[in-house]
Structure 1
Amino acid sequence: MSFAKVRRPATYTCRYSRNSGFSETASAIARRSSNCEIMLNYKITKTVVLLSLIALPGASRCSADDRKQAQEFFRSFCVSCHGMEMAEASLRLDQIDLQRWEDASLLEDIYTAIESRKMPPEEAAKHPESHQANALQKTLGNQLRVLAEKQKPGMLKRLSRIEYQNTVNDVFGTDFSLLGRLPLDNINAGFDNNADNLHLSVVDMETYFNVANRIAESVVSDKPAPRVVVYSTKNTDIDTLSHKDDTNGFAPSLERDSRPLVFASPATQIKINPSVRTSGVYQIVPQGFYITAQFVPGSRTEERLPAVKDVSDSDIDDTPEDGHSMSYFLRKNAGVGQSIVTVIAKNAAWQDFDPSEGFTTRLSSDDTIVLRCNSVKRGGPQRMFCIEKATITGPVYESWPPKTPFYTTYCQDIDASAGNEACRAILKRLALKLFRRPVSDAEMQQISIHAKKEFALGRSIYSGLQAGIRGMLCSPNFLYKQEGASGSLDEHAIAARMSYFLWNSLPDETLFELARQGKLKDPKVRREQTLRMLQDARADRFAKDYVYQWLDLEKLKIIEPDVSIFTVDEFDLVRDQIKEEPVEFFKEVLSSNLSLQNFIDSEFVMITPELNYIYQIEGHPVAKPSKRPGASKVSPVDYRPKEITSEFSRVTLGENDRYRGGLLSQAGFMLMTTNNGEYTNPFYRGAWVLRSFYGDHLETPADLEIAALSPPTKTETIKQTIDAHRENTSCNSCHRKMDPLGIALENFDVIGRWRDQYTDVSNYTATRQNNGNEAAHSPVDARTVHMDGRAFEGPQGLKNILLEDQDKFFRSFVENMLSYAMARELTFLDRGNLDLLYAQSADTDFRLRDILLAIVSAEYFTRR
């Protein structure tokens, strides 16, 4: 009998790995950084024990004889393709040493290949008898069970970055953007909540401490109210964008010899850099005048004598861009004498306020205020506005400390003079949420130590709260999901697993109360709560997080189509919506409890009029891109977002548009599977389909040099270019899988528009500028043959293939969802649970919501 090492209780540990166990304690961290003293009082209260290598009943580590028989199997049926002379997929089975018998991933791949009878392949010279294959499966299965039991119990599940951010914001009522400040999640495989990859290094822990410190200082202020300062701009503070003498037929901005001022005309914006010392809310009151002017296309503007009036009598729009940079616009066709309006958040509704008081907005030290008038029309007199100065006063507070959600929730009845007991009571309420379970008296004493130190130094309750919050955010009880030492989860751990699965955040009060009452082990209660939670707005987090990772959508955040194919104005129309379309489609399948089959092909789409600019679906509105002053195909300028952003709606497809159903034709997927937005790439598209629908992740051998795919030309098509890659036998094993799947999508261009002919990329810009039409060259040939010999053509042909293979997609999807729900990589021991879930899903026609209900209500959901 052999046992793994048993670790004693340790001071807070930063890193855990299956191979080396705990690697460094908090005392070691403190030696590196005195800032980490606050973490020293926390201990992991459970002993992490690796179970014995004894596996499940009936299973034992494979013997030398078992390994010898397995090696004979490999020599007889596998080494012709996986031996010394040829090693397909860089895999050799002619000699498997003891170390490789400890590689669970390798053994499971072999097990799956033998179980599915994919290996040896049909064309192989020899095939094993059933009893030979079954004997190998038994040997591999026993070893896999041993390995799974060996590594499973010691797993600690740290919060992922998105879970950390959501938890902090939900507890404190904030809207912090923390992802860029936190260490990257190590995603080698699966999802970013995979516990196998979420380790902490010493450097990571110091980063978490710094983030915790900033959160505590932002949530609870122990400083006096900042001094109010008035900034008044000068002419020298005002700058304008340069623009052409003739902008869309209009004359340039006006100039007056008598006054060295710049008028805000088309293609002109005025920037003011107030350089405020303290971030906060500021009141801004613009002052100036306008003149009445006549635009004469192609010539200088004819200026009339100005009728000076206060700009406050006009309409000015205030729209934050990227959270800070401000833009002020004169609304089109707005008359003088109306009140000023402001938008306080992107896409928010218009709000009126008294023009004599100006308006308020949040500013930081590096923010720039941008003023632009946008009331131009062709012909007739115009009001040309000039901003002489702007008075900026602040920071402005209704009260101090500010009545943030934290103060109104936790500190409503206290003031700065409150003592240690009031501080302890607030920290106890916070600890319940941050730790996601009841807190013992001993733990509260640990937390309170830091607050007491602040009181001992004569500081206020706010300093004490800061210290306590900082300590809790650095505690393993917050950073890790507490699932106990046994195989079964307790009630509060079940509540947390449900909430982090469906909300990416902590449980709400309803789940906490059910946990306190001991009701969450009842599958009926969990099912009821799942239905309730899916109706909550927080379920949108689950939809976006799961879809972005399942379909690998991160690339959409950085890729854009070539401007000669799809202009900046056109892409501005749809850039945000192509990122949201797959999420909205997923949400519709979930809320309507539709079959997973809809991801392959559906009778509907989820679109907006803006997206319909790409899709051109008959009978539905089509939005047009705005031609903004000063914009070009190459580089955008600051612009005012649309006042009204269209909502996604479900649109039933007619016969002529049925090819648009499902995920395959969505603009985002077509764009991210291109060569930098310049031309389509069947390699990328095929690999994405293979990964997303078949669950087959292709890996390029490290020592293989791959030539880049060339764009189509007048003399060479994409298919001809691809043939060259297949000549390399090392490449062919992957290309025969993915190429047909990508070639079938060649009727979609880089942004997902339908095309029947290719365009020579090198001649695209000139052709489009000359006649507005794409240069038509070789016709698109989307005919291809699946690796198993089935011939098909185009997107609909690919969908038919996927529908024929839908069981593979369903199996892959169910496995992904179960891994995401359990927040860990599935092991061989999960195969029974996976088979059960697959059977339950089949009984309900693989309806998405029913799959989630089956997972949460299952007994295995309540186990580690």
Structure 2
Amino acid sequence: MRSLFYSNRIAKAFVALSLVLFVSYSTVSATDHAILQQHCGKCHTGEEPEGGFHLELLGDGVTAESQEYWQASMDYVSLGDMPPSEESNVTDADRLQIAEYIREMILKQSRTPNDRFRYPTRRLNNREFANSISDALGIEDPGTHFPLGNLLGDTLHDGFDTNGDALGISEYHLEQYVESVRKVVDATVLSGEQSPPQHYDVPARLLRMSSLGQRTTRQESAIRNEDSLEFRDMRVRMYFDNFREVPVTGYYRIKIRATGIDRGYYDSAETGVYDGDPISLAIHFGDRKRTYELPDNEVMEIELTEWLAKGTRVELSYPTDGLRNRGNGNFKFQQSIAHDHIKEHDPDLYAKVVASIKPKRGGGRVLSVSHWSHWVDYWRGPRPRVYGAEIDGPIYQTWPPKRQFSLVGESPISGDAEAILTPIAERAWRRKVREGELDPIVRLVHDLQPDIGDLEAMKEGIVAIFVSPSFLLINPEDGSPAERFATKLAYFFESTLPSERVHSSIAAGKADDFDALCDSVARYFTSGHADEFLIEFPHAWLQLDRINFMAPDPDRYPHYHRKDVSADMIAEAKHFFRHAVETNMSVPEMLTANYSFINADLAKVYGVDDVPEDSKLRKYEFADHRRGGLLGMAAFLTLTADTMGTSPIHRAVYVMENFMGIHPAPPPGDVEIQEPDVRQAKTIKEILKAHVAQETCASCHRSIDPYGYAFENFDPVGAWRDQYVQSVTEPEREAKVTNKSRKTAPPIQLPIDASATFRNGKAYDDIVGFRKLMQSKANQEQFVRCFIKKLLIYANGTEPQNAAEVEKILLKSAEHDYRIVETIAAVLDSPLFREP
């Protein structure tokens, strides 16, 4: 499947490249670039130039049509792929001279005063939509009744949900937006008379557990006591029998009495719950969640006040990634731990329970004494105990509620529609409302008022504001330059509409130049206003959504699945990126740092044992130089692996595209790719050597493969291995196993060769050597250039189209030792971000 994924991408790239190649090659005249003719002319001139690339494609200088070839040329020369060492006598000094010449030519790219950078209009993605409508209405989130549940999911483009081509809008989209916005507005602006508050007492007998199946009488999921109800199975939720749904929208004061019990009673290796982790209780209001750490054996009263929409279900859960370490990972097998514990520590009780075990009625298979079903009532794993709850509501400090009053006033009338709707529209549309622009919406309010009344008509006017193109679409042409820049800045850092704080900051000149932007960027991070960026950008850049696209085999890698290690891997990557920003790390250090942030679950994958036994991520330095930074993270190693094995090509393509910013060349369209006969091959390297025996394949794979072989010592979950282990499946071996003796044939262990040589002649023996090569000036510069491009894709929704401006950002970053805050500021200060 992953091979198909990459093949499709290469095919698409080939179509686009062929079109550009045809246009460029047929319209640009040959030019004598002396240094290029000297070192590259032998292979890249004539009727059949190597790789289909002719020096004439570069033209006299860098233009919109030729910049792609100039940029690719600089990438390959800087990294030493061209000219290849095996085919020329070019020295490192020669390559440096060629690369500097190409960079000088790129920086000379001409640009007329009217040649502005333009980006596609796109709709808000779903998270931007949720954030924006909440901020425009002054509410905490769209609501607890899943008002946006009907919206279509966003299509990702190379991990990014900001891509303009993937964020179009259709009539169906609009219909769903209307439905969703109405739900949000109905839960914000209330009609009718004020509802009186009610008190709901929820004693233990009214606590209920949801069911995982149709047999609702089974009690394995909970432990009921006279004064409490205890979680047993972490997959179920607790609810209140006399308060199953919120009856009326408003504020509700909720008190819940709970404690954590039996933490550490069993060995953590058996339960999968670390003794160092607290027992937590999560409270769910629709998709809003609050989580609390419970004290051990001491009742805690949790008190909170929430605005809840009518129809919201209030539920409790036990958030843990443990309790799945036995059997096939189903929780029920956990309860057999009680058998083992009692047998060892309480022989009298054990004998009593065993004596009480009777065969099932009707005969049939007799379950063993250790079977989990016999020990359900004796299980004492770590769990929350809930004693009961109290709920009061709906509660309103004023009527209408303050949030409603701030939007439409106490008693809105249709005659005031323009005055009421203008500030809402200006927040939602991220700019000043133009004269007459609200007239159609005001007329809508007036027309509806006789039939549905003033307030309901005003609500329809608000709905119209939020389903208009000015809200749903981010239009680079909309608003004044200051308003457009405020919008881009706010969506870059906060994924929402610009606040008054952002508008005031820009008006005060705090984003007028590079130095001012550096200060603004630093304030964004220190104030917490950039949390959305710190979460979403690394998720998109590193394509973390793909981590379980082909998840490791659960039988072979049970720890990965039973402890939800993929969530830890994603958290590690994001925590590392946050650390990089907060410490203003040099950008290249992100790639090859000798440390990362891990917990006990990741430590088991990484093969280290000197970390605390809990789930908290902590900084850890790797002494073996195999790990650390992005290159050593299991998230990257897992999402580039298959269910049962690894492919150096998958990992190579990922490294090239996401760390080096290089898109491997597609295969020529007239080449028939035949599958090689690899039946006699033993290792992955031998298989790939057979596959690239054809020169048409080998020329590209000599550039691609070295970026992947270094990671072959890492298995599909990112754990270290010294050998491949392959199960024996050959018919002739299976034939040796008789029916009388069905013994499993021993697996075959094959040596791993993680060495390779780049086309520039630089070689490595393993991942340690590869990481050292990645610390070269050329590779570090290439990584920073890639990072800059990824930031621009996140910001603009499209690849940057001007190589000269990217190089200028890179040079500005270099002036500040590639520090990450200054690099981000250089991106935001560039015309590639500021314009139009």
TM-score bracket, normalised by the shorter chain, equals 0.5 to 0.7
Supply the AA of the counterpart residue of 2:492.
F
Distance (whole Å) between structure 1 residues aligned to residue 210 and residue 74 of structure 2: 73
1:579 to 2:570 alignment: yes
1:651 matched to 2:620? The reply is: yes
State whether residues 597 and 618 of structure 2, in contact with CA within 8 Å, keep that contact through their aligned partners in structure 1: yes
Q: Say which of 227, 233, 252 aligns to 1:312.
A: 227
Which residue among 664, 669, 683 is the counterpart of 2:649? 683
Query: Does 2:443 align with 1:443?
Result: no
* Distance (Å, rounded) in 1 between the aligned partners of 2:475 and 2:723: 58
Q: Which of 504, 516, 522 is the equivalent residue of 1:513?
A: 504
2:468 to 462, 467, 475: 475
Q: 1:698-713 residue pairs with structure 2 within 5 A?
A: 698=664, 700-701=666-667
Q: How do residues 75-90 of structure 1 correspond to structure 2 at under 5 angstroms?
A: 88=51
Q: Secondary structure, in 3 states, of the residue corresponding to 1:442? A: coil
Post-superposition CA distance 1:59-81 (Å, at most 9, x none) = xxx99998344699999988977
Which residue of 698, 701, 720 maps to 1:732? 698
Task: Report the counterpart of residue 71 of structure 2 in structure 1.
Answer: 112
Distance 1:330 1:187, change over 3 A: closer
Aligned to 2:786: 812
SS of 1:827's equivalent?
coil
SS at match of 1:621: coil
CA deviations 1:75-130 (Å, max 9, x no partner) are 99889779886883xx576999xxx99x98762222335567849845889999xx
Aligned mate of 2:140, from 164, 168, 173 = 173
Question: Contact conserved, 1:503 with 1:538, CA < 8 A, in 2?
Answer: yes
Distance 1:530 1:143 in 2: 29
2: CA distance, partners of 1:732 / 1:341: 55
Cα deviation digits, residues 758-808 of structure 1 (max 9, x gap): 1114689x9xxx999995711222122123222202211111121122222
Which is further off, 689-698 or 119-128? 119-128
Indicate whether 1:743 and 2:727 are aligned: no
Instruction: Specify the SS of the correspondent of 2:520.
Output: helix
Distance change >3 Å, CA 791–CA 580, structure 1 → 2: same
> Number of paired residues?
687
Are 1:493 and 2:436 counterparts? no
Matched-pair contact (CA < 8 Å) for 2:121–2:164:
yes
User: Is the contact made by 2:155 and 2:161 (CA closer than 8 Å) also made in structure 1?
Assistant: yes
Question: Structure 1 residues 845, 772: CA separation in 2 closer, same or farther (over 3 Å shift)?
Answer: farther
Q: What is the CA deviation profile of residues 631-661 of structure 1, one whole-angstrom value per residue up to 9, with x for unaligned ones?
A: xxxxxxxxxxxxxxx33222233x34x3221
Q: Paired residue for 2:129?
A: 164
Query: How many Å separate the matches in 2 of 1:215 and 1:114?
Result: 52
For residue 566 of structure 1, report the CA deviation from its aligned partner.
Answer: 0.9
Other-structure match for 2:403:
409
How big is each residue's C-alpha offset from its partner over 1:183-231, in whole Å with a ceiling of 9 and x where there is no partner?
A: 5666667954344664444554444444444444454455889999999
- Could you tell me which residue of structure 2 aligns to residue 21 of structure 1? none
Q: CA shift at 1:672, angstroms?
A: 1.0
* Correspondent of 1:348 among 284, 291, 305: 291
Q: Specify whether residues 188 and 440 from structure 1 end up closer, same or farther in structure 2 by C-alpha distance, changes over 3 A only.
A: same
Shift, 1:512, TM fit: 2.7
Contact 2:724 2:749 in 1 (8 A): yes
User: Does the residue aligned with 1:580 lie in a helix, a strand or coil?
Assistant: helix
Distance 1:106 1:197, change over 3 A: farther
Tell me the alpha carbon deviations over residues 604-635 of structure 1, each in whole angstroms, 9 at most, x when there is no partner: 21112221121233421245xxxxxxxxxxxx
Question: Partner of 1:399: helix, strand, or coil?
Answer: strand
C-alpha distance in structure 2 between counterparts of 1:314 and 1:193, whole Å? 45
**Partner Cα separation in structure 2 for residue 803 and residue 136 of structure 1:** 22
Letter in 2 for 1:801: L
- Residue of structure 1 equivalent to 2:549: 558
- 2:599 and 2:611 in contact (8 A); partners too: no
For 1:590, give the aligned amino acid. V
Residue 333 of structure 1 corresponds to 262
3-state SS of 2:751 partner:
coil
**Structure-2 separation of matches of 1:736 and 1:858:** 36
1:181 CA displacement: 4.9
Q: Structure 1 CA distance, aligned partners of 2:744 and 2:259?
A: 33
1:840 — aligned with what? 812
- In structure 2, the CA distance between the partners of 1:731 and 1:860, relative to structure 1 (3 Å rule), is closer
Question: How big is each residue's C-alpha offset from its partner over 1:283-325, in whole Å with a ceiling of 9 and x where there is no partner?
Answer: xxxxxx96xxxxxxxxxxxxxxxxxxx6334545897879999
- Residues 144 and 823 of structure 1: CA distance in aligned 2, closer, same or farther (over 3 Å): farther
1:494, 1:862 within 8 Å by CA — same for their partners in 2? yes
Query: Residues 579 and 534 (structure 1 numbering): CA distance in 2 closer, same or farther, change over 3 Å?
Result: same
Q: Partners of 1:323 and 1:81 in 2: how far apart?
A: 70
2:592 alignment partner AA: D
Shift of 1:668: 1.2
- Helix, strand or coil at the partner of 2:764: strand
Alpha-carbon distance between aligned partners in 1 of 2:121 and 2:232, rounded to the nearest angstrom: 51
Establish whether residue 420 from structure 1 lines up as the match of residue 414 from structure 2: yes
One-letter amino acid of the structure 2 residue matched with residue 399 of structure 1? P
Letter in 2 for 1:503: E
The separation in 2 between residues aligned to 1:839 and 1:314, in whole angstroms, is: 63
CA distance in 1, matches of 2:118, 2:307: 55
- Alignment partner of 1:67 is 2:28: yes
> What amino acid is aligned across from residue 409 of structure 1 in structure 2?
R
Q: How far is 1:595 from its partner?
A: 1.0
* Distance in 1 separating the partners of 2:231 and 2:156: 47
> What's the offset of the Cα at 1:504?
1.8
* TM superposition shift of 1:720: 0.8
Task: Give the direction of change, closer, same or farther, for the CA distance of 1:834–1:364 in structure 2 (3 Å limit).
Answer: same
Shift of 1:682: 0.8
Contact 1:759 1:777 in 2 (8 A): yes
Matches within 5 A, 1:91-102: 91=52
Q: Please point out which of 719, 735, 749 is paired with 2:685.
A: 719
Residues in 1 aligned to 2:583 and 2:107: alpha-carbon distance in whole angstroms: 40
Question: Quick one: which of 619, 626, 635 aligns to 1:668?
Answer: 635
Question: What's the C-alpha RMSD, in Å, of the aligned pairs?
Answer: 5.9
1:622–1:435 distance in 2 versus 1, CA, 3 Å: same
| 1:798 paired residue among 770, 773, 776 | 770
Q: How far apart are residue 485 of structure 1 and its match? A: 7.1
Gap runs ≥5 in structure 2: 1-22, 245-255, 264-278, 319-330, 350-374, 380-387, 735-741
Q: Could you tell me how far 1:591 is from its partner in structure 2? A: 0.5
Are the equivalent residues in 2 in contact too, given 1:186–1:192 (CA < 8 A)?
yes
Q: Which runs of 5+ in 1 are unaligned?
A: 1-61, 244-260, 271-288, 291-309, 335-339, 387-392, 624-645
Q: Secondary structure at the match of 2:638?
A: helix
CA distance in 1, matches of 2:228, 2:471: 53
What is the identity, as a one-letter code, of the residue corresponding to 2:429? F
Is this contact kept in 2: 1:686–1:742, CA < 8 A?
yes
Q: Secondary structure at the match of 1:722?
A: helix
SS in 1 for 2:723: coil
Query: Aligned in 2, Cα 1:64/1:736: closer, same or farther, shift over 3 Å?
Result: closer
1:325, 1:369 within 8 Å by CA — same for their partners in 2? no
> What amino acid is the match of 1:811?
R
Distance in 2 between the 1:582 and 1:773 partners?
A: 40
Q: How far did residue 399 of structure 1 move?
A: 2.4
Q: Distance in 2 between matches of 1:395 and 1:522?
A: 55
- Tell me, yes or no, if the aligned pair for 2:715 and 2:721 is still in contact at 8 Å: yes
Q: Distance in 1 between matches of 2:72 and 2:26?
A: 22
Cα shift at 1:567: 0.8
Counterpart AA for 1:564: D
State the Cα deviation string for residues 254-273 of structure 1 (Å, max 9, x = none): xxxxxxx9562xxx348xxx
Distance change in 2, residues 1:650/1:322 (3 Å) = farther
Q: For the Cα contact (< 8 Å) 1:158–1:481, is it kept in 2?
A: yes
Of the two structures, which has the highest relative contact order with CA contacts closer than 8 Å and spacing of 6 or more? 2
Task: Decide which moves more: 452-461 or 699-708.
Answer: 699-708
Cα deviation for residue 432 of structure 1 reads 2.5
Q: 1:846: Cα distance to partner?
A: 0.8
Tell me how far apart the structure 1 counterparts of residues 106 and 301 of structure 2 sit (CA, whole Å).
76
